[in-house]
Structure 1
């Protein structure tokens, strides 16, 4: 399906210069037709990107209004909602907002992967505590 890029909400804080360059090179070739659709989750009146931030950003740079997308069937809705909230807190609410968050590959890996590890641990504890509280309330 085609989704308007303006309806997409990021769930990651950074883009990699290297990944973006690779996508740009692919975009300039005839192989752009073979690029996988991005993965999304429905959330309110927008769609959370679960995979494909670099592809969405490149599509926007290339002047496209829409991008191919498919719904993410792997679950993790709650964690992606928390990722989207973390992005909102950092003033990242659209694909274009990632413009000032493009990092060299080594810095991207260090910042993004370290942040994800810590965030995922905290989020897992939070979600478990919420589930325990709900379970106790339903007894």
Structure 2
């Protein structure tokens, strides 16, 4: 299915400069761009990106209004909803809001992956506690 890029809500805080360059080269090298669909979840009447932030950002820069997407079948809705909440708190409400958060690959890996590890541990404990209370 195709979704409007402006309807997508990010669930990550940074983009990798290298990943964007790789995708940009793909866009420049082919007349018919065959980019894998991004993965999304429908949570609270929003489409959360679970995989494909870089592809969505590059599609927007390339002047596209829509991007191919498929629903994520791996679960994790509650965790991605927490990621989206963190993004909202940092005023990241659309894919374009990541334009000032593009980092060199080594810095991206250090900041994003380390943040994710800590956040995932805390979120897992929080979600487990909520489930136990219910």
TM-score, length-scaled by structure 2:
0.97
- Structure 2 unaligned runs (5+)? none
CA 1:66/1:132 → structure 2, altered by over 3 Å: closer, same or farther?
same
Alpha-carbon distance in 1 for matches of 2:101, 2:81: 20
Report how far residue 44 of structure 1 moved. Answer: 2.4
CA 1:101/1:32 → structure 2, altered by over 3 Å: closer, same or farther?
farther
Structural RMSD (CA): 1.0
| More deviation, 40-49/107-116 | 40-49
Q: Say if 1:39 and 1:72, in contact at 8 Å, map to a contact too.
A: yes
Paired positions, count:
134
Report how far residue 32 of structure 1 moved. Answer: 5.5
Task: For 1:44-63, list aligned pairs within 5 A.
Answer: 44-63=44-63
Q: Say if 2:26 and 2:33, in contact at 8 Å, map to a contact too.
A: no
Alpha-carbon distance in 2 for matches of 1:30, 1:107: 30
CA 1:35/1:19 → structure 2, altered by over 3 Å: closer, same or farther?
same
Which residue of structure 1 aligns with residue 66 of structure 2?
A: 66
Alpha-carbon distance in 2 for matches of 1:108, 1:75: 25
Alpha-carbon distance in 1 for matches of 2:14, 2:32: 23
Instruction: Compare the two structures and name the one with the higher helix fraction.
Output: 1
- Structure 1 unaligned runs (5+)? 135-139
Q: Say if 1:9 and 1:46, in contact at 8 Å, map to a contact too.
A: yes
